[in-house]
Structure 1
Amino acid sequence: MGALIWLASYPKSGNTWMRSFLHNLFRNSHQPVNINEIDDFCLGGSVAQWYRRYTSTPLREMSDEETARYRMQVQRDFTTVFPDSVFVKTHNYLGERNGVPLHNMEVTAGAIYIVRNPLDVVLSMMPHYDISLEEAIIALANEDAGTVRTESHAPEVYGSWSTNVRTWTRTPSPGLLVVRYEDMLDKPRKTFKQVATFLGVRPSPDRLERAIRFSSFKVLKAQEEKAGFKERPKVSRNFFREGKRDQWREKLTPDQVRQIISVHHEQMERFGYIPHDYRDAVPAPSAASA
């Protein structure tokens, strides 16, 4: 029986990329792993089949309280899938819902949290959820943001971008690795080697380079175009869109940039996401906090 390693992030922050890298790293194949087999390697934390072990009530008909009642045991069941570490994807913030933790820390060994500049996150949210830019900016700040209950998935609770980031990263721990999406792009060799080292893996340079190459945006996008990707939302034309950084410079107005910074400046400051030319958008400290 293994222990859980959470692959956590706010949506559209690089979680699928990280899962693909790890899948390719551990499989160590000489061709890219099929992206539609990614859930064979990394479990989805909200998949309904795990809840069906404990109740005949369809997931769609269950209340939040009922879901919470089974969540801790469902996550304990995850540990039986592999004899060693069990990777589990989550977009939930690190906290409680209905008085029950969203993550069972008793069976958790650690977590990798991926953080991405919210100025770019909103641009990826638009086509993914088929919403406007203004709707994406509002959703980014919504403390009740999450997914709705469906027949196949239990609801997830994201919280706002700031809450998601803060709850996962505020307490340093040897069992936690925080990775910036931008470093995955700009310094892939250094960043992904750090991920491997955190997991106790010492890959050869060739194996590391191959895993990075096989999980590149170009490869993932080509796979989706050829065979589709089952995690793509029905409202979205494609899951893998552009995979770039700093697109906000061309696509957000100064007012939109300032709006996002004014709400999320504390966590943006921590991760170096406030542009020098927008420092004036950071609210002045209040007298109470001074």
Structure 2
Amino acid sequence: MGALIWLASYPKSGNTWMRSFLHNLFRNSHQPVSINEIDDFCLGASASAWYKRYTSTPPGEMTDEEAARYRLQVQRDFTTVFPDSVFVKTHGYLGEHSGVPLHNMDVTAGAIYIVRNPLDVALSMGPHFGISTDEAIATLANENAGSRGADTHVPEHYGSWSTHVRTWTRVPSPALLVMRYEDMLEKPRKSMKTVAGFLGLNPSADRLERAIKYSSFKVLKAQEQKEGFKERPEVSKAFFREGKRDQWREKLSPDQVRQIIRDHHVQMERFGYIPDDYRDAVPASSEASA
């Protein structure tokens, strides 16, 4: 029986990239692992198949209360999949919902948390969820943000971007590794070596390099174009779109940038996401916006 290692992030912040990297690193193959095999390596916290063991209610009709009733036991069931570490993807904030923790800490060994600039997250969320940029900005600030149940998953609870980041990162711990998406882009070798070290691994330079290469945005996008990606929402034309940083400078209006900063300035400040030329958008009050 293993213990859970959460791969946590707000949606569209690099979770699939991290899962692909780890899958390629552990598999150590001489060709890229298929993106459609990621769930063989990393479980999904909201995957409906695990809940069907305990209820006949269709996932799309499951209420928050019913999902909460089985959540902790389902996550305990995850520990039976592998004898050691069990990686689990989550987009949930770290806290309770419907009176039950969203993550079972009794069977948790640690977590890797990926944070991404919300100015870019807003741009990625729009096409991914089939909503406008303004709607994505509103979602980022919505404390009740989440996804409804569907055939493949039970309801998920994100909270606002600020709440998500704050709840996962406010208490430093040796069992928690916090990674910035932007650092992963700019310094992939250093970043991924840090991830491997956190997991107690010391891969050879060649093995690390292959895992980085095989999980690169270029490779993932090419795989999706060739074979599709089962995690792509029906409303989205492509799961892997740009994979770049600072696109907001060309695609967000000044008013949109200022709104995001007003909504999330506390956590953005912590992670170096407030642009110097938009410092005037930070509210005078230092009270948390999360």
> Could you say whether these structures have the same fold, taking a TM-score greater than 0.5 normalized by the shorter chain as the test?
yes
Q: Deviations over 1:123-164 (max 9, x none)?
A: 101110111111111111011000011132111000000000
- Which residue matches 1:75? 75
Following the alignment from structure 1 to structure 2, what is the Cα–Cα distance between the partners of residues 194 and 160? 28
Change (3 A) 1:286 1:20: closer
- Which residue matches 1:174? 174
Following the alignment from structure 1 to structure 2, what is the Cα–Cα distance between the partners of residues 276 and 190? 26
Q: Deviations over 1:190-217 (max 9, x none)?
A: 0000000000000001110110000000
Q: Deviations over 1:249-275 (max 9, x none)?
A: 111111111110011000000000001
**The residue matched to 1:202 in structure 2 has which SS?**
coil
**The residue matched to 2:226 in structure 1 has which SS?**
helix
**Which stretches in structure 1 are left out of the alignment for 5+ residues?**
none
Structure 1 window deviating more from structure 2 (121-130 vs 277-286): it is 277-286
Q: What is the TM-score with the length of structure 2 in the denominator?
A: 0.97
- Which residue matches 2:250? 250
Tell me if structure 1 keeps the 8 A contact 2:60–2:148: no
User: What amino acid does structure 2 have at the position aligned with 1:24?
Assistant: N
Following the alignment from structure 1 to structure 2, what is the Cα–Cα distance between the partners of residues 22 and 46? 20
User: What amino acid does structure 1 have at the position aligned with 2:273?
Assistant: Y
Following the alignment from structure 2 to structure 1, what is the Cα–Cα distance between the partners of residues 121 and 160? 12
**The residue matched to 2:24 in structure 1 has which SS?**
helix
Q: Deviations over 1:41-74 (max 9, x none)?
A: 0001111111111122322333221110100000
> Post-superposition shift, 1:286?
6.0
**The residue matched to 2:21 in structure 1 has which SS?**
helix
- Which residue matches 1:8? 8
Tell me if structure 1 keeps the 8 A contact 2:262–2:281: yes
**The residue matched to 1:149 in structure 2 has which SS?**
coil
Identity level (%):
80
Following the alignment from structure 2 to structure 1, what is the Cα–Cα distance between the partners of residues 17 and 245? 14
> Post-superposition shift, 1:105?
0.2
**The residue matched to 1:50 in structure 2 has which SS?**
helix
Change (3 A) 1:69 1:252: same
User: What amino acid does structure 1 have at the position aligned with 2:194?
Assistant: Q
- Which residue matches 1:227? 227
- Which residue matches 2:21? 21
- Which residue matches 2:160? 160
The question of 1:186 aligning with 2:186 is answered yes
**Which stretches in structure 2 are left out of the alignment for 5+ residues?**
none
- Which residue matches 2:283? 283
Residues 1-290 of structure 1 correspond to what in structure 2 (within 5 A)? Answer: 1-285=1-285
Following the alignment from structure 1 to structure 2, what is the Cα–Cα distance between the partners of residues 42 and 56? 25
Q: Which runs of 4+ in 1 moved over 6 A?
A: none
Tell me if structure 1 keeps the 8 A contact 2:62–2:154: no
